[in-house]
């Protein structure tokens, strides 16, 4: 399969996601509409209506039920997908933990949107960042092409017998979900082959038999029991172990996919831009990386040694890659599109500083909360951030560790 065999289609991010799902031989899609994810559900409904997929589509009465249906379908052995955003994801909160606890490899697209109140339908990352501890793999994409590519990879990652954890693919509301872009798509068969059939590891059941890990009347298993203080902790330890293996599974899947398409997103975990000899750098997730790259180029043209690190994965946190990429940078600005109220900065800031604490170079790390509720992040603000970083390097001091960028 050559990259040349790919077809270019004009699609927005939501459509790209729906198209990837259509190609991935998904058994059950259970979902509930919410702006800006709606297009995913609508497009997929059309595929169902037109007989283009053999998927069972369950249009539930709530997101809570959508994810509940996905967990149970996944436990029954089906490949499952759902999509949500904002209030919908928040309503799923309880079941997010159940999904990972049941080791159900559900794949979900999130069109990142602000949380109420006041109600706002535009982009920020408050919704998915609030779920960072739910034991889901989180991939944040930069553009619609990556949304398409990541959904296909997500099925293979989630269902890997050593992982068996659900995966969220997060794309920025409107900036990606609704913006038309040229997306290269693979032929159906190539995707089918790449995702393969769902693998079911063997597991010991209550009869002492090794049976496939699914609800099968021929080989019964009991899932989701009452787990007291004597074993609950062990089950959570197993989940952490799976997360530890995730990084390798993600990079392997990303490599295999690049061979097929010729497209790469860094090493699959982090995507560095002009960082090699950089002195100052910003760190972000999602579509802001696009604008930031333009700014980096402009600064570079003026001789400023600026760079960017885009985290593609926030869960698992690519600790080693972050250290390697940033340890020689003098000053780093994290750009957080969500806030941890009263928490001294946003979630990415917290984790990044915590990772870099161990480096001997001890770079300066500051945070900029930006873009809440879809507020624009224009080039001049990003330039301002790099300017602040230059000042920090010059003065060897930080005036303010946490700031708000673009608020009046």
Binding site for other proteins (CB under 8 A): 27-28, 30, 54-56, 58-62, 64-66, 68-78, 80, 94-95, 98, 101-103, 164, 203-208, 213-228, 230-231, 234-235, 237-238, 241-242
Taking Cα atoms as reference points, which of 41, 30, 131 lies closest to residue 75? 30
SS3 336: strand
Whichever of 197 and 397 has its CB closer to other proteins, that residue is 197
Tokens (6 digits) for 200:
């079911």
| Beta bridge pairs of residue 108 | 82, 168
Least distance (Å) between residue 86 CB and other proteins: 19
Least distance (Å) between residue 67 CB and other proteins: 8
Q: For residues 18 and 32, what is the distance between their CA atoms, to the nearest angstrom? A: 14
Least distance (Å) between residue 220 CB and other proteins: 5
Least distance (Å) between residue 55 CB and other proteins: 6
Q: For residues 172 and 141, what is the distance between their CA atoms, to the nearest angstrom? A: 8
CB-CB neighbours of 209 under 10 Å: 12
Whichever of 24 and 55 has its CB closer to other proteins, that residue is 55
Whichever of 206 and 302 has its CB closer to other proteins, that residue is 206
User: How would you write 134-146 as a 3-class SS string?
Assistant: CCCEEEECCCHHH
Least distance (Å) between residue 159 CB and other proteins: 14
Query: Between the CA of residue 27 and those of 8, 55, 163, 314, 318, what are the distances in Å?
Result: 26, 5, 20, 28, 31
Tokens (6 digits) for 1:
């399969």
Least distance (Å) between residue 33 CB and other proteins: 14
Q: For residues 408 and 406, what is the distance between their CA atoms, to the nearest angstrom? A: 7
Least distance (Å) between residue 18 CB and other proteins: 17
Sheet of 402-405: strand order equals 270-273, 306-311, 280-284, 331-336, 364-370, 402-405
Instruction: Render the burial of 184-198: b for 16+ CB within 10 Å, e for the rest.
Output: bbbeeebbeebbeeb
Q: For residues 336 and 105, what is the distance between their CA atoms, to the nearest angstrom? A: 28
At CB < 8 A and 24+ separation, what contacts does 390-395 make? 390/280, 390/304, 390/331, 392/330, 392/331, 392/364, 392/366, 393/279, 393/280, 393/330, 393/331, 393/364
| Beta bridge pairs of residue 311 | 270
CA angle 323, 241, 78 (to 5 degrees): 115
Least distance (Å) between residue 219 CB and other proteins: 8
């Amino acid at each position: 399969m050559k990259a040349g065999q790919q077809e270019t289609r004009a699609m927005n991010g939501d459509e790209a996601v729906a198209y990837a799902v259509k190609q991935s031989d998904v058994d059950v899609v259970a979902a509930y509409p919410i702006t800006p994810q709606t297009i995913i559900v609508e497009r997929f409904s059309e595929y169902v209506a037109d007989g283009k997929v053999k998927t069972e589509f369950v249009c539930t009465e709530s997101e809570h039920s959508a994810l509940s249906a996905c967990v149970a379908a996944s436990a029954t052995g089906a490949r499952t997908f759902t999509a949500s955003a904002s209030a919908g994801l928040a309503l799923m909160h309880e079941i997010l933990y159940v999904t990972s606890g049941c080791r159900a490899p559900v794949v979900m697209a999130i069109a990142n949107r602000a949380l109420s109140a006041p109600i706002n339908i535009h982009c920020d990352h408050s919704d998915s960042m609030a779920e960072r501890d739910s034991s889901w793999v989180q991939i944040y994409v930069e553009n619609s092409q990556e949304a398409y590519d990541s959904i296909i990879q997500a099925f293979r990652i989630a269902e890997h017998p050593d992982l068996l954890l659900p995966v969220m693919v997060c794309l920025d509301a409107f900036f990606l979900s609704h913006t038309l872009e040229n997306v290269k798509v693979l032929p159906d068969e190539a995707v089918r082959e790449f995702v393969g059939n769902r693998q079911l590891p063997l597991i010991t059941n209550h009869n002492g038999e090794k049976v496939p890990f699914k609800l099968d009347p021929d080989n019964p298993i009991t899932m989701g029991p009452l787990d007291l203080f004597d074993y609950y902790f062990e089950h959570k330890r197993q989940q952490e172990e799976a997360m530890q293996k995730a990084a390798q599974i993600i990079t392997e899947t990303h490599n295999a996919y690049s061979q097929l398409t010729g497209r790469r997103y860094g090493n699959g975990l982090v995507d560095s831009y002009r960082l090699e000899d950089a002195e100052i750098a910003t760190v972000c997730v999602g579509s802001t990386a696009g604008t930031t790259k333009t700014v980096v180029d402009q600064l570079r043209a003026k001789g400023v040694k600026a760079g960017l690190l885009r985290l593609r994965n926030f869960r698992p946190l690519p600790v080693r890659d972050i250290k390697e990429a940033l340890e020689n940078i003098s000053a780093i600005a994290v750009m957080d599109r969500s806030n941890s109220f009263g928490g001294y900065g946003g979630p990415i800031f917290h984790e990044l500083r915590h990772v870099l604490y161990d480096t001997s170079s001890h770079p300066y790390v500051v945070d900029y909360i930006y873009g809440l509720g879809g507020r624009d992040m224009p080039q001049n603000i990003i330039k301002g951030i790099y300017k602040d970083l230059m000042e920090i390097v010059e003065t060897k001091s930080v005036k303010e560790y946490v700031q708000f960028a673009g608020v009046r």
